[in-house]
A = this chain, B = another copy of it.
Amino acid sequence: MQVFDIEKMKTFSTEKMKKVKMFDSEHMFCDLYCFESGQSQKTHLHEGEDKIYYVLEGEGLFRIGDEEICVRHGSATMAKAGVIHGVINQSRNRLVVLVFMAPKPVH
Q: A7-24 CB contact bits vs B (8 Å, 1 = yes)?
A: 100000000000000110
**Copy count, this protein chain:** 2
Q: What number of A residues sit within 8 Å (CB to CB) of B?
A: 36
Inter-chain contact B103/A7, CB cutoff 8 Å: no
Inter-chain contact A103/B5, CB cutoff 8 Å: no
Q: Which of B22, B49, B52, B103 contacts A30 (CB 8 A)?
A: B52
Inter-chain contact B3/A75, CB cutoff 8 Å: yes
11 cross-chain CB contacts under 8 A: A1-B67, A1-B69, A3-B69, A3-B75, A7-B74, A23-B76, A25-B78, A27-B49, A28-B102, A54-B98, A76-B98
A residues neighboring B (CB under 8 Å): 1-7, 22-23, 25-28, 30, 48-50, 52, 54, 62, 64-65, 67, 69, 71, 74-78, 80-81, 98, 100, 102-103
